[in-house]
Structure 1
Amino acid sequence: MASSRQGDLFAPDPQAELFDEDRPTPVYGADPDKVRAELLQILAEARAASTLPWEPRKLSYYRTVFPQMANWLPDDEADRLRFEFAAELVRLQAA
């Protein structure tokens, strides 16, 4: 007699659809307005500071994530924001 806790080896797997190769892969698309708002908020925080406003871990995070987030914006705007962020970091590190 089988234990009530033991599953039936021949029963259909309830999670089998998770591995269905015929299903399309969902595509994520960031909202450019939300990305822009977040980047501008980070940039404003940097501009308002006279010294680095972030602890080293958060600074490292922003150095990595800021340029990547900018990829969701039009190229010219993304390049401008990346440049402005890098310039603020140089200014703050010199302070």
Structure 2
Amino acid sequence: MSDPTMTSRQGDLFGPDPQSDLFDEDAPTPVYRADPDEVRAELLQILAEARAARTLPWEPSKVAFYRTVFPQMANWLPDDEANQLRFDFATELARLDAA
């Protein structure tokens, strides 16, 4: 039997959980809004790297990542600008793939 006068460093297994509010289903879900200027700058940097290269400037895993992420990131920009950036990036990748 344990001594009731001894204190335990282990928390109360059935007591209140201080992190339980992390899983509160009634709490509003935070909404992320990307900064279009930051997105634009990052996409233009990636596009500039591609334009300056004679061959693919990235490892295959990074190329695969950019093929997926670049078009998705463009979604944070106005439609006309996003479509143009996607087209320009696809054109550069096609040029680099052929090199």
Q: Decide: shared fold, TM above 0.5.
A: yes
Q: Distance in 2 between matches of 1:59 and 1:72?
A: 21
Residues 1-95 of structure 1 mapped to structure 2, 5 A cutoff: 1=2, 4-95=8-99
Segments of 4+ moved more than 6 angstroms: none
Structure 1: where are the runs of 5+ without partners? none
Q: Residue 94 of structure 1: CA displacement? A: 1.1
1:57-94 CA distances to partner (integer Å, 9 max, x unpaired)?
A: 11001001000000000111000000000000111111
Is the radius of gyration larger for structure 1 or structure 2? Answer: 2
- Give the fraction of aligned pairs with identical amino acids, expressed as a percent: 79
Structure 1: distance between partners of 2:25 and 2:16: 17
How far apart, in 1, do the equivalents of 2:31 and 2:63 lie?
29
Rounded to whole Å, the distance in 2 between the matches of 1:58 and 1:19 is: 35
Normalization by structure 2: what TM-score? 0.89
Question: 5+ residue gaps in structure 2?
Answer: none
